[in-house]
């Protein structure tokens, strides 16, 4: 019989698209080898080669220190292979319901490493042999409980591991604090100030000392072992922002396990059982980022606009003149650019608009009120001005376009376009898309955003005459920074410091005298809240939802509602309810609420009633908790319809 084979091109296609999971499988977004201890992940942006090294992307570290050695050691071979397979399976398109994109792969990996450490401490060598096969629902619940109580200090059992270490070294003497301090003194565990050196503790517990330093709970606990003990009160900052997402992650993680050849208990395959177990932990226990008060927002906006109109033109001329002379000094005397800038900045004639900023510059060099806004004494004045300008541009763009910080950082000078007198900003949405692809959106924006991007392009062009760079991202990305080492693309971490410096420069103090340091996400939230309140509240929701890049209107409502007071929520719900009952809405909730209103006012129809009367009555009922209203978005064929869901309190009788 003649052997029949597929055409070569078809065979190659099946070879590339048929996926089988083994320790050798390598997804397209993994730039490292599967066996590497650090994975470099291509998120579809900012990955480039600079001077022979790969820059950008996300790095996942597998060599975390655990009891019994590094997770990348032979001792943990079984759970390590399972963990790598789980990450690939959850983010390689096979289960889109779990991970539509790989942009949150870092968080997925981080939470999994917390669980791995929890299991490694709890089960010891058994976890090394069996890996995730021994995981139970009880483990997940206790893992989340540990996170509630002590954050990563709890999930990693930092405190119990330290106490176990002391017991192993001192035996019964570990019951005496004085004996412990004597032992630590002999071991050289104290620094010059008498504080316990975290490097010593990290080596003793086989934990990266940076993790110990970042744990507010552990730092508060370990303080009693210092030579001079000062009790401190600390909030559990580690869990406030992560607990709900950690609980949600547990559900996704178990869904992945259910599809893999890892034998686990049957209950872990039951999504409903997992949901029931983690439900108590999915309620957010914190307040989200504070919304900027109107007084602060107005002062920030006015200060940034004034900067662009009055200060930037002189700033550009001054910096160009300084760079021109600095370049001559660098070429002639082999002086570093940073040193040349310091010398030349005093020689070049300074425009009058920049003179008042010298006082701010001098104050910052001496003021240590806030470490994030302290300027190094050797920072040249032109670089100081550049940092403020970059912060101004970030504020205006993020606020007036309602963009996320990562979306702003990713902008290029070509992201803006003009059409018939209108300006549009092309944004690649951070949380919307498939795989490494991001959904594009053209947002209408004011002209000042175009001026900000143009100013960054002009300044970058000037600075590149003094500094050379091989980084291709520097040309593509609008935002950049200059420091003693050279010129580089701006990264998210830089933004927090720059906004802190700008907050100090503008002297942002609210009506109560509280000093404000603006955070990146507050800019987007400030836009959303002012748009909602001044754009017609409930009438603004559909437009705001589109502008924020949310996939549905419910997401926008929850986002807004978290920053509303009880009075504001009642007013907003009453407005939505009024719109519903005065319309042709025939839903059960609208009908029930309509009956309550008609009974109260003694009428058979609302058509002849004044809507303001209805609104006032519904606002009172909302304050009493008689009903709740949530905007919902329903799909009708290919279109979507915005409506409201009204729920009436059981047993209410008008």
List, for residues 501-530, the tens digit of each pLDDT value: 899 889 888 777 778 888 888 898 888 888
Q: Which of 161-165, 224-228, 409-413 has the lowest mean pLDDT?
A: 224-228
When pLDDT is cut at 50, 70 and 90, the band that residue 396 belongs to is: very high
Q: 315-351, pLDDT tens digit by residue?
A: 999 999 999 999 888 887 778 888 888 888 888 888 8
DSSP state of 486: E
Q: 48-66, pLDDT tens digit by residue?
A: 888 778 888 889 999 999 9
When pLDDT is cut at 50, 70 and 90, the band that residue 383 belongs to is: very high
When pLDDT is cut at 50, 70 and 90, the band that residue 95 belongs to is: low
Beta carbons of 309 and 455 less than 8 angstroms apart:
no
**Residue 654: helix, strand or coil by DSSP?**
coil
Beta carbons of 524 and 403 less than 8 angstroms apart:
yes
More confident residue, 167 or 589: 167
Closest of 145, 189, 141 to residue 166, by C-alpha? 189
Q: Which of 228-242, 422-436, 604-618, 619-633 has the lowest mean pLDDT?
A: 228-242
Angle at which helices 520-534 and 381-401 cross, to 10°: 40
Residue 363, pLDDT > 60, answer yes
pLDDT at 437: 64
pLDDT at 78: 93
pLDDT at 448: 95
More confident residue, 580 or 127: 127
User: Per the structure block, which two tokens stand in for 222?
Assistant: 């370990």
pLDDT at 640: 60
pLDDT at 135: 92
Q: Which residues pair with 425 in a beta bridge?
A: 416, 443
Q: How far apart are CA 13 and CA 525, in angstroms?
A: 47
pLDDT at 435: 55
Residue 286, pLDDT > 50, answer no
pLDDT at 241: 45
Q: 533-564, pLDDT tens digit by residue?
A: 776 555 577 788 888 887 777 777 777 776 66
Q: 229-249, pLDDT tens digit by residue?
A: 555 444 443 444 467 788 888
More confident residue, 16 or 518: 518
When pLDDT is cut at 50, 70 and 90, the band that residue 399 belongs to is: very high
Q: How far apart are CA 338 and CA 319, in angstroms?
A: 13
Average pLDDT on 109-123 reads 94
pTM, two decimals, is: 0.68
DSSP state of 630: E
pLDDT at 554: 75
Closest of 529, 389, 537 to residue 463, by C-alpha? 389
Average pLDDT on 409-428 reads 90
Q: Which residues pair with 444 in a beta bridge?
A: 424
Mean of per-residue pLDDT scores for the chain = 81
Closest of 132, 119, 152 to residue 243, by C-alpha? 152
User: Per the structure block, which two tokens stand in for 326?
Assistant: 């600095």
Q: How far apart are CA 652 and CA 455, in angstroms?
A: 61
Distance (Å) of CA 320 to CA 16, 148, 490, 654? 53, 54, 21, 73
Beta carbons of 296 and 508 less than 8 angstroms apart:
yes
Residue 289, pLDDT > 80, answer no
What are the DSSP calls for 140-175, one per residue?
A: HHHHHHHHHHHTHHHHTTHHHHHHHHHHHHHGGGGG
């Amino acid at each position: 019989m003649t052997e029949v084979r597929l055409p070569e091109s078809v065979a190659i296609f099946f070879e590339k698209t048929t996926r089988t999971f083994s320790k050798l499988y390598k997804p397209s977004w993994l730039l490292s080898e599967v066996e590497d201890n650090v994975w470099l992940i291509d998120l579809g942006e900012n990955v480039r080669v600079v001077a022979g090294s790969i820059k950008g992307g996300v790095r996942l570290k597998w060599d975390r220190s655990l009891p019994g050695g590094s997770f990348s050691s032979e001792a943990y071979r079984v759970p390590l292979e399972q963990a790598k397979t789980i990450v690939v399976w959850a983010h390689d398109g096979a289960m889109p319901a779990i991970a539509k994109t790989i942009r949150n792969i870092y968080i997925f990996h981080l939470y999994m490493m917390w669980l791995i450490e929890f299991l490694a401490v709890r089960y010891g060598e058994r976890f090394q042999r069996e890996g995730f096969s021994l995981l139970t629902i009880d483990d997940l619940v206790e893992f989340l409980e540990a996170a509630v109580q002590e954050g990563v200090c709890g999930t990693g059992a930092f405190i119990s591991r330290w106490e176990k270490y002391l017991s192993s070294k001192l035996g019964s003497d570990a019951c005496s604090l004085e004996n412990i301090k004597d032992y630590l003194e002999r071991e050289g565990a104290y620094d010059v100030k008498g504080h316990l050196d975290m490097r010593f503790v990290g080596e003793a517990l086989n934990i990266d000392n940076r993790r110990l330093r970042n744990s507010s709970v552990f730092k508060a606990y370990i303080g009693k072992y210092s030579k001079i003990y000062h009790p401190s009160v600390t909030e559990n900052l580690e869990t406030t922002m992560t607990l709900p997402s950690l609980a949600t992650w547990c559900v996704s993680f178990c869904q992945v396990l259910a599809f893999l050849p890892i034998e686990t208990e049957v209950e872990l395959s039951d999504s409903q059982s997992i949901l029931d177990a983690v439900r108590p932990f999915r309620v957010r226990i914190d307040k989200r980022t504070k919304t900027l008060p109107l007084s602060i927002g107005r002062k920030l906006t006015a200060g940034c606009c004034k900067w662009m109109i009055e200060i930037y033109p002189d700033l550009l001329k001054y910096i160009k003149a300084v760079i021109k002379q600095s370049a001559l000094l660098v070429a002639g005397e082999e002086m570093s650019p940073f040193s040349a800038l310091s010398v030349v900045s005093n020689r070049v004639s300074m425009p009058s608009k920049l003179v008042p900023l010298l006082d701010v510059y001098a104050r910052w060099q001496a003021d240590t009120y806030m470490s994030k806004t302290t300027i190094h004494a050797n920072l040249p004045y032109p670089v100081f001005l550049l940092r403020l300008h970059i912060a101004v541009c970030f504020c205006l763009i993020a606020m007036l376009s309602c963009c996320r910080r990562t979306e702003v950082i990713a902008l290029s000078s070509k992201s803006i376009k003009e059409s018939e007198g209108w300006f549009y900003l092309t944004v690649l949405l951070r949380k919307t898309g498939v795989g490494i692809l991001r959904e594009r959106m053209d947002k209408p924006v004011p002209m000042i955003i175009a001026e900000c991007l143009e100013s960054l392009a002009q300044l970058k062009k000037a600075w590149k005459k003094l500094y050379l760079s091989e980084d291709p991202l520097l040309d593509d990305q609008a935002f950049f920074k200059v420091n003693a080492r050279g010129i580089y693309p701006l990264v998210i971490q830089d933004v927090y410091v720059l906004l802190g410096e700008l907050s100090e420069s503008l002297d942002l103090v609210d009506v109560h005298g509280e000093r404000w340091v603006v955070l990146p996400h507050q800019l987007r939230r400030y836009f959303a809240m002012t748009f909602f309140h001044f754009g017609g509240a409930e009438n603004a929701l559909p437009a705001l939802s589109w502008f924020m890049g949310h996939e549905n209107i419910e997401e926008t409502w929850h986002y807004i509602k978290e920053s509303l007071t009880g009075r504001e929520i009642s007013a907003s719900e009453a407005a939505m309810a009024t719109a519903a009952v005065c319309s042709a809405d025939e839903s059960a909730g609208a009908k029930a609420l309509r009956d309550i209103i008609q009974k109260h006012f003694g009428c058979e129809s609302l058509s002849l009633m004044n809507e303001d009367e209805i609104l006032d009555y519904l606002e009172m009922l909302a304050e009493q908790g008689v009903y709740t209203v949530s905007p919902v978005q329903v799909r009708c064929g290919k279109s979507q319809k915005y409506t409201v869901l009204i729920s009436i309190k059981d047993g209410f009788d008008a």
